[in-house]
Amino acid sequence: MSKPEIMENVKVTNIKESLIPNIYIVELQGRNLKIDMDIHREVLVFGKNDSLKLIISKAKPQYQEGKDFCAKGVVANKKTEDKNKKIIISLWGFTVIITDKEQKSKLWDKLNIMDEVYYCLNLA
């Protein structure tokens, strides 16, 4: 199995309802990353303050169906705001915005627009 582009421990800092029914906006915080993502209530398998392992990989990683969240998507955009790098991943309509604080995780260099990736959140 190939090495993931990134593997980092993150914590769920907030979950709030979206204006769209059954959709939640989840905020996650890691050592070097801040993540905002949309998720449907039927696949929301974690709660506020849960500790998770974030895996972003071009190869399908191991995960437990029904326990972990794992979806295949595409890198839709990359942009710079101040000293922060942002990577936007589309999970077939749901959006993940990853803010790489001062590019400390090096994720920016590992992903290109239109790369297919697996975005997984495993219960730690």
**CATH number for the domain harbouring residue 28:** 2.40.50.140
| 24 part of a folded domain | yes
| 1 part of a folded domain | no
| 23 part of a folded domain | yes
Structural domain range at position 66? 6-70
What pLDDT is attached to residue 101? 78
CA 110, CA 17: separation in Å to the nearest integer? 32
| 62 part of a folded domain | yes
| 36 part of a folded domain | yes
What pLDDT is attached to residue 113? 96
| 100 part of a folded domain | no
CA 21, CA 41: separation in Å to the nearest integer? 9
Give the pTM: 0.91
As for how many domains the chain has, the answer is 1
Q: Which residues of 18-46 are buried (b: 16+ CB within 10 A; e: fewer)?
A: eeeeeebbbbbebeebbbebbbeeeeebb
Joined tokens for residue 25:
């906006």
What residues contact 93, with CB distance under 8 A and at least 6 apart?
A: none
CA 27, CA 117: separation in Å to the nearest integer? 20
CA 119, CA 72: separation in Å to the nearest integer? 6
| 117 part of a folded domain | no
| 89 part of a folded domain | no
Chunked into runs of 10 residues, the chain (124 residues) has average pLDDT values of 82 97 97 95 95 95 92 96 91 94 77 96 88
What residues contact 47, with CB distance under 8 A and at least 6 apart?
A: 12, 15
